Structure 1
Amino acid sequence: MHEKVLPKHSLELLSALGKDPSPLLTGWTLAGGTGLAFHLGHRISDAVNFCRTDDMDVRALHDVLASHGPYETLQEADHTLTVIIKNTKLSFFRVRDPFLFDTLPHRFFTIASIGDIALKKLIAISGRGSRKDFADLYTILQDEPTLEAYFEMLARKYGESRVNTYHILKSLTYFDDAESEPMPQMLVPFDWKECKAFFVREARAIVLP
Protein backbone atom coordinates (compact mmCIF):
# COMPACT_ATOMS: atom_id res chain seq x y z
CA MET A 1 0.00 0.00 0.00
CA HIS A 2 1.14 3.54 -0.81
CA GLU A 3 1.01 5.23 2.59
CA LYS A 4 3.23 8.12 1.52
CA VAL A 5 0.34 9.68 -0.39
CA LEU A 6 -0.53 11.23 2.98
CA PRO A 7 1.61 13.83 4.75
CA LYS A 8 3.77 12.57 7.59
CA HIS A 9 1.68 14.31 10.25
CA SER A 10 -1.49 12.59 8.96
CA LEU A 11 0.16 9.17 9.03
CA GLU A 12 1.35 9.82 12.59
CA LEU A 13 -2.20 10.77 13.58
CA LEU A 14 -3.65 7.57 12.10
CA SER A 15 -1.02 5.52 13.88
CA ALA A 16 -1.82 7.21 17.20
CA LEU A 17 -5.56 6.72 16.73
CA GLY A 18 -5.04 3.09 15.75
CA LYS A 19 -2.92 2.36 18.81
CA ASP A 20 -5.28 4.11 21.21
CA PRO A 21 -6.29 1.95 24.23
CA SER A 22 -9.83 2.30 22.86
CA PRO A 23 -8.80 1.90 19.21
CA LEU A 24 -10.78 4.47 17.28
CA LEU A 25 -10.23 3.01 13.83
CA THR A 26 -11.36 -0.56 14.50
CA GLY A 27 -14.36 -1.36 12.31
CA TRP A 28 -13.77 1.58 9.98
CA THR A 29 -12.93 1.41 6.27
CA LEU A 30 -10.76 3.95 4.48
CA ALA A 31 -12.61 5.05 1.36
CA GLY A 32 -12.66 7.85 -1.21
CA GLY A 33 -9.67 9.35 -2.91
CA THR A 34 -7.31 8.54 -0.05
CA GLY A 35 -8.36 4.90 -0.06
CA LEU A 36 -7.75 4.81 -3.80
CA ALA A 37 -4.39 6.53 -3.41
CA PHE A 38 -3.36 3.86 -0.90
CA HIS A 39 -4.07 1.31 -3.65
CA LEU A 40 -2.59 3.12 -6.64
CA GLY A 41 -0.21 5.75 -5.30
CA HIS A 42 -1.39 8.08 -8.04
CA ARG A 43 -1.75 11.36 -6.13
CA ILE A 44 -1.20 13.15 -2.86
CA SER A 45 -4.24 13.27 -0.60
CA ASP A 46 -5.11 15.95 1.95
CA ALA A 47 -8.15 14.39 3.65
CA VAL A 48 -8.97 11.06 5.25
CA ASN A 49 -12.47 9.57 4.91
CA PHE A 50 -13.59 6.57 6.93
CA CYS A 51 -16.93 4.83 6.56
CA ARG A 52 -18.83 1.89 8.01
CA THR A 53 -22.12 0.19 7.23
CA ASP A 54 -23.33 -0.23 10.83
CA ASP A 55 -24.28 2.43 13.37
CA MET A 56 -21.67 4.87 14.61
CA ASP A 57 -21.41 6.57 17.99
CA VAL A 58 -20.51 10.21 17.33
CA ARG A 59 -20.13 10.95 21.05
CA ALA A 60 -17.59 8.14 21.43
CA LEU A 61 -15.63 9.52 18.48
CA HIS A 62 -15.50 12.93 20.16
CA ASP A 63 -14.26 11.36 23.41
CA VAL A 64 -11.37 9.56 21.73
CA LEU A 65 -10.42 12.49 19.49
CA ALA A 66 -10.34 14.82 22.50
CA SER A 67 -7.68 12.63 24.10
CA HIS A 68 -5.39 13.32 21.15
CA GLY A 69 -5.42 17.10 21.43
CA PRO A 70 -7.55 20.05 20.33
CA TYR A 71 -9.62 19.75 17.19
CA GLU A 72 -12.23 21.69 15.24
CA THR A 73 -15.59 20.17 14.30
CA LEU A 74 -16.54 21.04 10.72
CA GLN A 75 -19.69 18.93 10.40
CA GLU A 76 -21.71 16.79 12.78
CA ALA A 77 -24.93 14.82 12.30
CA ASP A 78 -26.40 11.52 13.49
CA HIS A 79 -24.09 9.44 11.33
CA THR A 80 -21.48 11.94 10.19
CA LEU A 81 -18.53 13.66 11.80
CA THR A 82 -15.84 15.74 10.11
CA VAL A 83 -13.04 17.39 12.07
CA ILE A 84 -9.67 19.05 11.63
CA ILE A 85 -7.16 17.56 14.04
CA LYS A 86 -3.39 17.99 13.91
CA ASN A 87 -3.72 19.69 10.50
CA THR A 88 -5.59 16.67 9.11
CA LYS A 89 -9.15 16.69 7.81
CA LEU A 90 -10.74 13.53 9.16
CA SER A 91 -14.26 12.33 8.29
CA PHE A 92 -16.35 9.49 9.68
CA PHE A 93 -19.68 8.55 8.15
CA ARG A 94 -22.11 5.67 7.86
CA VAL A 95 -23.00 4.35 4.41
CA ARG A 96 -26.31 2.63 3.63
CA ASP A 97 -25.05 0.44 0.83
CA PRO A 98 -22.95 -2.68 1.52
CA PHE A 99 -19.63 -3.13 -0.19
CA LEU A 100 -19.78 -5.21 -3.37
CA PHE A 101 -16.22 -6.39 -2.92
CA ASP A 102 -14.13 -7.44 0.05
CA THR A 103 -12.27 -4.74 1.92
CA LEU A 104 -8.53 -5.10 2.44
CA PRO A 105 -7.03 -5.22 5.94
CA HIS A 106 -4.40 -2.57 6.63
CA ARG A 107 -2.91 -2.21 10.09
CA PHE A 108 -5.59 -0.47 12.19
CA PHE A 109 -8.43 -0.33 9.66
CA THR A 110 -9.57 -1.78 6.34
CA ILE A 111 -9.48 -0.19 2.88
CA ALA A 112 -12.36 -0.19 0.41
CA SER A 113 -11.77 -2.05 -2.85
CA ILE A 114 -10.93 -0.18 -6.04
CA GLY A 115 -14.25 -1.42 -7.45
CA ASP A 116 -16.36 0.07 -4.66
CA ILE A 117 -14.40 3.32 -4.80
CA ALA A 118 -14.93 3.52 -8.57
CA LEU A 119 -18.70 3.14 -8.17
CA LYS A 120 -18.76 5.86 -5.52
CA LYS A 121 -16.75 8.12 -7.84
CA LEU A 122 -19.40 7.68 -10.54
CA ILE A 123 -22.08 8.76 -8.07
CA ALA A 124 -19.96 11.71 -6.94
CA ILE A 125 -19.38 12.89 -10.51
CA SER A 126 -23.13 12.72 -11.17
CA GLY A 127 -23.61 15.18 -8.31
CA ARG A 128 -20.86 17.73 -8.68
CA GLY A 129 -17.80 16.16 -10.24
CA SER A 130 -14.58 17.52 -8.78
CA ARG A 131 -11.28 17.49 -10.64
CA LYS A 132 -10.05 14.94 -8.09
CA ASP A 133 -13.03 12.67 -8.85
CA PHE A 134 -12.32 12.75 -12.58
CA ALA A 135 -8.58 12.20 -12.04
CA ASP A 136 -9.28 9.28 -9.70
CA LEU A 137 -11.77 7.58 -12.00
CA TYR A 138 -9.54 8.15 -15.03
CA THR A 139 -6.64 6.46 -13.22
CA ILE A 140 -8.83 3.52 -12.23
CA LEU A 141 -10.02 3.04 -15.81
CA GLN A 142 -6.51 2.68 -17.19
CA ASP A 143 -6.91 -0.94 -16.10
CA GLU A 144 -9.80 -3.42 -16.07
CA PRO A 145 -12.76 -3.43 -15.50
CA THR A 146 -14.07 -1.06 -18.15
CA LEU A 147 -16.34 1.92 -17.61
CA GLU A 148 -19.19 -0.06 -19.17
CA ALA A 149 -18.63 -2.86 -16.66
CA TYR A 150 -18.82 -0.40 -13.78
CA PHE A 151 -22.11 0.94 -15.16
CA GLU A 152 -23.46 -2.60 -15.01
CA MET A 153 -22.41 -2.82 -11.34
CA LEU A 154 -24.18 0.38 -10.29
CA ALA A 155 -27.63 -1.19 -9.95
CA ARG A 156 -26.17 -4.10 -7.97
CA LYS A 157 -24.70 -1.74 -5.41
CA TYR A 158 -27.29 1.03 -5.22
CA GLY A 159 -30.46 -0.56 -6.64
CA GLU A 160 -32.01 0.22 -10.01
CA SER A 161 -34.58 2.63 -8.58
CA ARG A 162 -31.85 4.82 -7.06
CA VAL A 163 -29.53 5.04 -10.07
CA ASN A 164 -30.11 7.29 -13.07
CA THR A 165 -27.53 5.87 -15.45
CA TYR A 166 -28.41 8.36 -18.19
CA HIS A 167 -27.67 11.28 -15.89
CA ILE A 168 -24.43 9.68 -14.69
CA LEU A 169 -23.31 9.08 -18.26
CA LYS A 170 -24.06 12.69 -19.21
CA SER A 171 -22.20 13.94 -16.13
CA LEU A 172 -19.02 12.23 -17.32
CA THR A 173 -18.78 14.79 -20.12
CA TYR A 174 -19.54 17.88 -18.03
CA PHE A 175 -16.34 19.47 -16.74
CA ASP A 176 -17.26 23.06 -15.82
CA ASP A 177 -17.33 22.45 -12.06
CA ALA A 178 -14.11 20.46 -12.15
CA GLU A 179 -12.28 23.11 -14.14
CA SER A 180 -13.00 25.72 -11.46
CA GLU A 181 -10.81 23.71 -9.08
CA PRO A 182 -7.02 23.32 -8.86
CA MET A 183 -5.33 20.19 -10.13
CA PRO A 184 -4.55 17.59 -7.48
CA GLN A 185 -0.88 16.85 -6.94
CA MET A 186 -0.44 13.83 -9.19
CA LEU A 187 2.33 11.26 -8.68
CA VAL A 188 1.82 9.56 -12.05
CA PRO A 189 1.77 11.02 -15.58
CA PHE A 190 -1.54 12.78 -16.09
CA ASP A 191 -2.93 15.23 -18.64
CA TRP A 192 -6.24 16.97 -17.96
CA LYS A 193 -7.07 17.44 -21.64
CA GLU A 194 -6.54 13.74 -22.30
CA CYS A 195 -8.64 12.90 -19.24
CA LYS A 196 -11.56 14.90 -20.63
CA ALA A 197 -11.16 13.43 -24.10
CA PHE A 198 -11.05 9.94 -22.60
CA PHE A 199 -14.40 10.35 -20.84
CA VAL A 200 -16.03 11.85 -23.91
CA ARG A 201 -14.89 8.84 -25.98
CA GLU A 202 -15.91 6.31 -23.34
CA ALA A 203 -19.31 7.89 -22.74
CA ARG A 204 -20.12 7.94 -26.44
CA ALA A 205 -19.22 4.25 -26.72
CA ILE A 206 -21.64 3.13 -24.01
CA VAL A 207 -25.13 2.14 -25.12
CA LEU A 208 -27.55 2.04 -22.22
CA PRO A 209 -30.61 -0.26 -22.28
Structure 2
Amino acid sequence: MFEEVLSKDAKNSLGSLGKSGLLDSTYLAGGTALALQLGHRYSYDFDFFTPQKFDEEILVQRISEAFPEFSLERKDWGTILGYFGETRFSLFFYKYPLLFKTHKLLDINIAGIKDIAAMKIAAIADRGTKRDFIDLYFIFNEEKIMTLEESLKLYDKKFKALSQNKIHILKSLVYFEDAD
Protein backbone atom coordinates (compact mmCIF):
# COMPACT_ATOMS: atom_id res chain seq x y z
CA MET A 1 0.00 0.00 0.00
CA PHE A 2 1.14 3.53 -0.83
CA GLU A 3 0.47 5.33 2.45
CA GLU A 4 2.39 8.36 1.18
CA VAL A 5 -0.66 9.40 -0.90
CA LEU A 6 -2.22 10.59 2.38
CA SER A 7 -1.28 13.69 4.31
CA LYS A 8 0.16 13.07 7.76
CA ASP A 9 -3.11 14.23 9.35
CA ALA A 10 -5.21 12.01 7.06
CA LYS A 11 -3.04 8.99 7.83
CA ASN A 12 -3.30 9.67 11.56
CA SER A 13 -7.09 10.06 11.31
CA LEU A 14 -7.39 6.84 9.31
CA GLY A 15 -5.28 4.98 11.86
CA SER A 16 -7.34 6.34 14.74
CA LEU A 17 -10.59 5.39 12.99
CA GLY A 18 -9.25 1.88 12.47
CA LYS A 19 -8.22 1.50 16.10
CA SER A 20 -11.58 2.79 17.33
CA GLY A 21 -13.53 -0.11 15.81
CA LEU A 22 -16.38 2.26 14.92
CA LEU A 23 -16.07 1.45 11.23
CA ASP A 24 -15.41 -2.29 11.43
CA SER A 25 -18.49 -3.10 9.32
CA THR A 26 -17.51 -0.61 6.62
CA TYR A 27 -14.92 -0.43 3.86
CA LEU A 28 -12.99 2.41 2.31
CA ALA A 29 -13.51 2.74 -1.44
CA GLY A 30 -13.30 5.52 -3.99
CA GLY A 31 -10.22 7.47 -4.98
CA THR A 32 -8.39 7.22 -1.68
CA ALA A 33 -8.71 3.43 -1.55
CA LEU A 34 -7.49 3.23 -5.14
CA ALA A 35 -4.62 5.68 -4.56
CA LEU A 36 -3.50 3.65 -1.55
CA GLN A 37 -3.22 0.61 -3.83
CA LEU A 38 -1.80 2.25 -6.97
CA GLY A 39 0.06 5.28 -5.61
CA HIS A 40 -1.00 7.26 -8.68
CA ARG A 41 -2.26 10.45 -6.98
CA TYR A 42 -2.75 12.18 -3.66
CA SER A 43 -6.14 11.91 -2.05
CA TYR A 44 -7.82 14.02 0.58
CA ASP A 45 -11.09 12.31 1.43
CA PHE A 46 -12.37 9.14 3.01
CA ASP A 47 -15.34 7.49 1.30
CA PHE A 48 -16.65 4.68 3.47
CA PHE A 49 -19.47 2.33 2.51
CA THR A 50 -21.45 -0.28 4.39
CA PRO A 51 -24.09 -2.80 3.34
CA GLN A 52 -25.57 -2.58 6.84
CA LYS A 53 -28.19 0.00 7.71
CA PHE A 54 -27.07 2.21 10.58
CA ASP A 55 -28.52 4.78 12.95
CA GLU A 56 -26.96 8.05 11.81
CA GLU A 57 -27.72 9.86 15.06
CA ILE A 58 -26.05 7.24 17.26
CA LEU A 59 -23.04 6.79 14.97
CA VAL A 60 -22.42 10.56 14.72
CA GLN A 61 -22.59 10.75 18.52
CA ARG A 62 -20.07 7.90 18.88
CA ILE A 63 -17.70 9.39 16.31
CA SER A 64 -17.95 12.85 17.92
CA GLU A 65 -17.28 11.43 21.38
CA ALA A 66 -14.27 9.42 20.17
CA PHE A 67 -12.93 12.20 17.93
CA PRO A 68 -13.45 15.76 19.16
CA GLU A 69 -11.80 17.01 15.94
CA PHE A 70 -14.67 15.54 13.89
CA SER A 71 -17.02 18.17 12.53
CA LEU A 72 -20.36 17.11 11.09
CA GLU A 73 -21.36 18.70 7.81
CA ARG A 74 -24.60 16.82 7.21
CA LYS A 75 -26.45 13.64 8.03
CA ASP A 76 -29.38 12.07 6.24
CA TRP A 77 -30.76 8.57 6.03
CA GLY A 78 -27.83 6.27 5.21
CA THR A 79 -25.41 9.19 4.94
CA ILE A 80 -22.92 10.95 7.21
CA LEU A 81 -20.70 13.74 5.84
CA GLY A 82 -18.09 15.59 7.82
CA TYR A 83 -14.42 16.39 8.33
CA PHE A 84 -11.52 15.10 10.37
CA GLY A 85 -9.50 18.29 10.33
CA GLU A 86 -8.89 18.97 6.61
CA THR A 87 -9.86 15.46 5.54
CA ARG A 88 -13.37 15.05 4.16
CA PHE A 89 -15.22 12.02 5.55
CA SER A 90 -18.29 10.30 4.15
CA LEU A 91 -20.13 7.17 5.13
CA PHE A 92 -22.90 5.76 2.95
CA PHE A 93 -25.28 2.86 3.24
CA TYR A 94 -24.52 0.96 0.02
CA LYS A 95 -26.63 -2.06 -0.77
CA TYR A 96 -24.45 -3.36 -3.61
CA PRO A 97 -22.20 -6.28 -2.67
CA LEU A 98 -18.44 -6.35 -2.75
CA LEU A 99 -17.36 -8.83 -5.41
CA PHE A 100 -13.89 -9.41 -3.98
CA LYS A 101 -12.25 -9.58 -0.56
CA THR A 102 -11.11 -6.38 1.08
CA HIS A 103 -7.54 -5.59 2.13
CA LYS A 104 -6.53 -4.23 5.53
CA LEU A 105 -4.59 -1.06 6.23
CA LEU A 106 -4.39 0.51 9.69
CA ASP A 107 -7.27 -1.78 10.76
CA ILE A 108 -9.48 -0.36 7.99
CA ASN A 109 -11.10 -2.56 5.33
CA ILE A 110 -10.07 -1.36 1.86
CA ALA A 111 -12.08 -2.33 -1.23
CA GLY A 112 -10.10 -4.03 -3.98
CA ILE A 113 -9.23 -2.38 -7.27
CA LYS A 114 -11.74 -4.39 -9.31
CA ASP A 115 -14.62 -3.44 -7.01
CA ILE A 116 -13.51 0.17 -7.15
CA ALA A 117 -13.40 0.06 -10.98
CA ALA A 118 -17.06 -1.00 -11.11
CA MET A 119 -17.94 1.74 -8.63
CA LYS A 120 -16.00 4.31 -10.69
CA ILE A 121 -18.03 3.40 -13.77
CA ALA A 122 -21.22 3.96 -11.77
CA ALA A 123 -19.86 7.30 -10.51
CA ILE A 124 -18.98 8.45 -14.03
CA ALA A 125 -22.43 7.46 -15.28
CA ASP A 126 -23.93 9.57 -12.47
CA ARG A 127 -21.73 12.65 -12.39
CA GLY A 128 -18.14 11.96 -13.48
CA THR A 129 -15.33 14.00 -11.94
CA LYS A 130 -11.91 14.37 -13.54
CA ARG A 131 -10.49 12.23 -10.76
CA ASP A 132 -12.85 9.37 -11.69
CA PHE A 133 -11.61 9.43 -15.30
CA ILE A 134 -7.98 9.61 -14.15
CA ASP A 135 -8.53 6.66 -11.82
CA LEU A 136 -9.98 4.50 -14.60
CA TYR A 137 -7.18 5.56 -16.94
CA PHE A 138 -4.63 4.22 -14.47
CA ILE A 139 -6.55 0.99 -13.92
CA PHE A 140 -6.92 0.32 -17.66
CA ASN A 141 -3.75 1.80 -19.15
CA GLU A 142 -0.93 2.45 -16.73
CA GLU A 143 -1.35 -0.53 -14.44
CA LYS A 144 -3.22 -2.73 -16.94
CA ILE A 145 -5.12 -4.39 -14.09
CA MET A 146 -8.20 -4.97 -16.21
CA THR A 147 -9.85 -3.86 -19.42
CA LEU A 148 -12.92 -1.71 -19.92
CA GLU A 149 -14.79 -4.81 -21.05
CA GLU A 150 -13.86 -6.66 -17.87
CA SER A 151 -14.90 -3.71 -15.70
CA LEU A 152 -18.26 -3.49 -17.50
CA LYS A 153 -18.87 -7.16 -16.71
CA LEU A 154 -18.08 -6.50 -13.06
CA TYR A 155 -20.34 -3.43 -13.12
CA ASP A 156 -23.17 -5.65 -14.36
CA LYS A 157 -22.43 -8.32 -11.76
CA LYS A 158 -22.39 -5.71 -8.97
CA PHE A 159 -25.31 -3.49 -10.03
CA LYS A 160 -27.33 -5.81 -12.31
CA ALA A 161 -27.97 -2.84 -14.59
CA LEU A 162 -25.69 -2.98 -17.63
CA SER A 163 -28.38 -4.03 -20.10
CA GLN A 164 -30.58 -1.05 -19.15
CA ASN A 165 -27.71 1.46 -18.94
CA LYS A 166 -25.05 0.31 -21.42
CA ILE A 167 -25.49 3.12 -23.97
CA HIS A 168 -25.61 5.77 -21.24
CA ILE A 169 -22.52 4.31 -19.54
CA LEU A 170 -20.51 4.12 -22.75
CA LYS A 171 -21.43 7.71 -23.63
CA SER A 172 -20.53 8.83 -20.10
CA LEU A 173 -17.09 7.24 -20.39
CA VAL A 174 -16.22 9.50 -23.33
CA TYR A 175 -18.04 12.67 -22.25
CA PHE A 176 -15.64 14.90 -20.33
CA GLU A 177 -17.25 18.31 -20.76
CA ASP A 178 -19.06 18.38 -17.40
CA ALA A 179 -16.29 16.68 -15.42
CA ASP A 180 -15.16 18.98 -12.62
What is the TM-score when the length of structure 2 is the normalising length? 0.91
Deviation for aligned residue 1:135: 0.3
Residue 176 of structure 2 corresponds to which residue in structure 1? 175
Q: Residues 138-165 of structure 1, C-alpha deviation per residue, up to 9 Å, x if partnerless?
A: 0011213210121122221111378501
Deviation for aligned residue 1:40: 0.3
Q: Secondary structure at the match of 2:43?
A: coil
Residue 64 of structure 2 corresponds to which residue in structure 1? 66
Q: Distance between the aligned counterparts of 2:164 and 2:74, measured in 1?
A: 27
Residue 204 of structure 1 corresponds to which residue in structure 2? none
Q: Distance between the aligned counterparts of 1:123 and 1:163, measured in 2?
A: 13
Q: Which runs of 5+ in 2 are unaligned?
A: none
Number of aligned positions between the proteins: 177
Report if the CA contact (8 A) 1:154-1:163 is conserved: no
Residues 68-107 of structure 1 aligned to structure 2 (within 5 Å): 68-107=67-106
Q: Which runs of 5+ in 1 are unaligned?
A: 182-209
Q: 1:15 to 1:160 in 2, by over 3 A?
A: closer
RMSD: 1.7
Q: Secondary structure at the match of 2:53?
A: coil
Is residue 151 of structure 1 aligned with residue 152 of structure 2? yes
Deviation for aligned residue 1:74: 2.1
Q: 1:31 to 1:162 in 2, by over 3 A?
A: farther
1:165 is aligned with what amino acid? K
2:32 is aligned with what amino acid? T
More off after superposition, 57-66 vs 120-129? 57-66
Report if the CA contact (8 A) 2:152-2:162 is conserved: no
Report if the CA contact (8 A) 1:56-1:79 is conserved: yes
Report if the CA contact (8 A) 2:79-2:90 is conserved: yes
Deviation for aligned residue 1:70: 4.2
Residue 8 of structure 1 corresponds to which residue in structure 2? 8
Q: Distance between the aligned counterparts of 2:121 and 2:103, measured in 1?
A: 21
Residue 121 of structure 1 corresponds to which residue in structure 2? 120
Larger Rg: 1
More off after superposition, 127-136 vs 67-76? 67-76
Q: Distance between the aligned counterparts of 2:34 and 2:16, measured in 1?
A: 22
Moved over 3 A (4+): 160-163
1:171 is aligned with what amino acid? S
Report if the CA contact (8 A) 1:27-1:109 is conserved: no
Q: Distance between the aligned counterparts of 2:36 and 2:42, measured in 1?
A: 10
Deviation for aligned residue 1:12: 1.0
